Structure 1
């Protein structure tokens, strides 16, 4: 436990440093040369009168005689209110009133960090109220957008405020618990990052501090409280309200997002019934949008403006006629368009997991999901994902199954699904599954992974496991193999294997084990 806490502190320190550097860069970002009325810094009274530090940018020709569509931009976790300044200037130059504000608990805003709680949702409506009363905003044409934390708050606000007609959620979440606690496993590095940045740049509320404490303590008696806390802060909980209110929703996320993995976003997209769009690109959390925040041309922000231009301005720019699901593979540079999410991996191949394999727990085999942020960024910019020498993985600690060599390239698209039977010598345990692209020399490049934890099982009694690995788009070259590796320790997650436990994987004739791999139709 001591080593775990020290590792989390180290991760948080690295994350805090990176965030503060990024914040400093953004504060000095080259603002687009735009014909606006300049930037006005204001304080807005949020829910309960809490001060929200904000800035306002209006079109240059705003003279009170004309109303403009309003865009409200809540800041990301840990970032200052100038985060969106380059984009705000650009959008104002295009005819929008843009109000960006620091969410409560961070930087100059008052209150405590509520992690998208009711007060954050109420704050968004208060900012809209203020903008309608103090800027030349059009009450009938209101949109919200944000990166990360601002994205989640925008979706939550759209569920509770009917005035919001369009949303662009960039690197946001849909299900908070499925993001940081998927497979009933704590995503420790990602959550330590959030906790560390919050402590340095803001003031967590008492409830938020207690939730983080309980999370890292892995206290099962607090599990239901954590789930209930997360549900209240999850847009997926309110999808019916979003659908009823009719907001047009654009979702843009990254395949390698180590804070908000793409599975829950894809599921949420499928539940939306109004105008919607889903974009998935290589990268980690918020990395696909970063250059746009610096004022550099950026695909995510370009599509965001097109989305608002159509649904707030009524421009016939064609975005509503395009296939609404747009993906970019981690292996190639081009975009792929699909009519819906189920069409992404319409064809499936099955890798049978035959035989019986027993592994010991508590030791990292060398198969890992990488390092939060760093690994997915390397994959994004250089196509260098985490790697493992598959023939050298110690079979005492890792179970390994491999396909034959594929005669042609395999374009993995969507969500890989694992089904297997496990027998544990203890009542609790954790496994982590990895899918690797294995080259001729046995070097495996990580395609996807996911953790899975159980409690209360009967020792020695088999039980079934169904696990969805994190959705991805990856091209396996001809002549390569796919390998499934399962071990019990990964630095990204908190594991729950008692000392000395052993896991046995089997494939009963009545319930065979397999990996189902989604492939693009060619």
Structure 2
């Protein structure tokens, strides 16, 4: 089903407040940090790093606006490790000022630059295309030529867009020895087109923010138009466009270059769900680290951009200290997978992502369920940014009264009451058989923690879309729900809900279509929930 202009305007309007809130969280404080760092008193002090604003020629001579922090006392007689920080999508060049100053005060040259196409930097938004990768190398060239940077100790990092560019650059520039990619992506299509379903609010937010703060390239404008209008005739082109911009595509090059890579993300990231980062992490061969925390896109590290204490930025510095300075701080001997529970806020360490669950609990999806499409049952994933931030700070995930969900619109199955706490850890998987009255359709699967009064708290969810199916002929569906760490209290149940509408996504159910979920004897339907005993 193609969304109308009214639907798209409403979706963009819905995310506008969230975009503003995120900008305030991650952008405005950095401006304040810039004022402090660039003041004459700060620059003149022998105990603090100096900062200057410069123009750097990127690929093709495009001017990139940048700021450079140099350690106090640098006199050209010694070299320092250098860290390059490309800005996030739609963020100004002062984004990292507070963290850059901290790093420079501890002995790094730090170059933060505005990604091409945004704000005062030249060029157009190429969405981490070849020009952006070449820009990263040009900035490294400039740093080595104009600062006391050590060519043997080059690091890159950043949040969101800066994370993606850093990972991509590590595949093409062997000088990069360490990367910290926070709230980034490894698989662009697997992020905003997971389950072959357009993530409507995410794409609308990215498109709107890019248009407000930069100059989208004609290619980007065309891709967004085809994506948001469900132009399936261009699907192969869109997938190829996204693959070209996905670090996972260049995994062999990244592994061959051997940079030490730290990945950080939030369980509820509305733009880049954690699954794609976890899959990428497992395939990395060099030194690596994976950290997941509660929150949404960039909120796990957002407060650190104010210069406030922040676990993500603390570990980022430790990562660079060890792999660029050679500091024996023990980070290489710690459990490389670090998870923070959404329920308790406690940290847990694991030796690999596959070792996170110790068992799996199956919920049998017995009996047949038939639903009508095109109407929201009341089960949904919430709103971009807002819902996961409420979960992060108040532990209030999206909720639904499971007994009151209309069974004509939502297929519902429930487990027995659990006698002991169930610590859900990792990726829940659904397997079922679907029959549709139409050749195309969309379903959204949800996993709820249901208390004694029937109130369900969202544990995880994921969408799926199909095309080209023979009407009234059954077909199998296998779906990974977004990874998480959530504790289901003793005495509660888990509920599996599948409906056809969610404001986060574009759905493809023709008017009047129906979906049937069955469990054939030779291919039973189930949900497998990963738990830690």
Is residue 124 from structure 1 mapped to residue 144 from structure 2 by the alignment?
Answer: no
Q: Provide the secondary structure at the position in 2 that maps to 1:518.
A: strand
Q: Tell whether the 8 Å contact from 2:12 to 2:201 is kept in structure 1 after alignment.
A: no
Q: Provide the secondary structure at the position in 2 that maps to 1:423.
A: strand
Q: Structure 2 length normalisation: TM-score? A: 0.96
Q: Distance in 1 between matches of 2:498 and 2:309?
A: 41
Q: Structure 1 length normalisation: TM-score? A: 0.98
- Residue matched to 2:345: 333
- Residue matched to 2:16: 13
Q: Provide the secondary structure at the position in 1 that maps to 2:300.
A: coil
Report the CA distance between 1:17 and its aligned residue: 2.8
- Residue matched to 1:460: 472
* Structure 1 residue ranges (4+ consecutive) displaced by more than 2 angstroms after TM superposition: 11-26, 29-37
Q: Tell whether the 8 Å contact from 1:432 to 1:487 is kept in structure 2 after alignment.
A: yes
Is residue 421 from structure 1 mapped to residue 433 from structure 2 by the alignment?
Answer: yes
Q: Tell whether the 8 Å contact from 1:74 to 1:146 is kept in structure 2 after alignment.
A: yes
Deviates more, 1:421-430 or 1:341-350: 341-350
Q: Which whole-Å deviations, capped at 9, do the CAs of 1:142-184 have from their partners, x for residues lacking one?
A: 0001000000000000000000000000001000001000000
Q: Distance in 2 between matches of 1:424 and 1:459?
A: 6
RMSD of aligned alpha carbons: 1.1
Report the CA distance between 1:31 and its aligned residue: 5.0
- Residue matched to 2:294: 282
Q: 1:20 to 1:520 in 2, by over 3 A?
A: closer
Q: Distance in 2 between matches of 1:37 and 1:496?
A: 55
Is residue 186 from structure 1 mapped to residue 198 from structure 2 by the alignment?
Answer: yes
Q: Distance in 2 between matches of 1:157 and 1:9?
A: 31
- Residue matched to 1:318: 330
Match of 1:26 among 23, 30, 38: 30
Counterparts of residues 20-419 of structure 1 (less than 5 Å) = 20-22=23-25, 23-29=27-33, 31=36, 35-419=47-431
Unaligned runs of at least 5 residues, structure 1: none
Q: Tell whether the 8 Å contact from 1:188 to 1:216 is kept in structure 2 after alignment.
A: yes
Q: Tell whether the 8 Å contact from 1:41 to 1:53 is kept in structure 2 after alignment.
A: yes
Report the CA distance between 1:61 and its aligned residue: 1.6
- Residue matched to 1:518: 530
Report the CA distance between 1:4 and its aligned residue: 1.5
Q: Provide the secondary structure at the position in 1 that maps to 2:325.
A: coil
Q: Distance in 2 between matches of 1:2 and 1:124?
A: 37
Is residue 2 from structure 1 mapped to residue 5 from structure 2 by the alignment?
Answer: yes
Q: Tell whether the 8 Å contact from 1:19 to 1:78 is kept in structure 2 after alignment.
A: no
Q: Which whole-Å deviations, capped at 9, do the CAs of 1:423-471 have from their partners, x for residues lacking one?
A: 0000000000000000000000000000000000000100000000000
Report the CA distance between 1:24 and its aligned residue: 2.7
Q: Distance in 2 between matches of 1:12 and 1:346?
A: 38
Q: Tell whether the 8 Å contact from 2:18 to 2:386 is kept in structure 1 after alignment.
A: no
Q: Provide the secondary structure at the position in 1 that maps to 2:321.
A: helix
Q: Tell whether the 8 Å contact from 1:19 to 1:197 is kept in structure 2 after alignment.
A: no
Report the CA distance between 1:6 and its aligned residue: 2.3
Match of 1:500 among 508, 512, 530: 512
- Residue matched to 1:438: 450
Report the CA distance between 1:7 and its aligned residue: 1.6
Q: Distance in 2 between matches of 1:120 and 1:236?
A: 17
Q: Provide the secondary structure at the position in 1 that maps to 2:142.
A: helix
Q: 1:17 to 1:333 in 2, by over 3 A?
A: closer
Q: Provide the secondary structure at the position in 1 that maps to 2:299.
A: coil
Report the CA distance between 1:320 and its aligned residue: 0.4
Q: Distance in 2 between matches of 1:118 and 1:205?
A: 13
Q: Distance in 1 between matches of 2:63 and 2:48?
A: 26
Q: Distance in 2 between matches of 1:16 and 1:113?
A: 18
Q: Tell whether the 8 Å contact from 2:29 to 2:305 is kept in structure 1 after alignment.
A: no
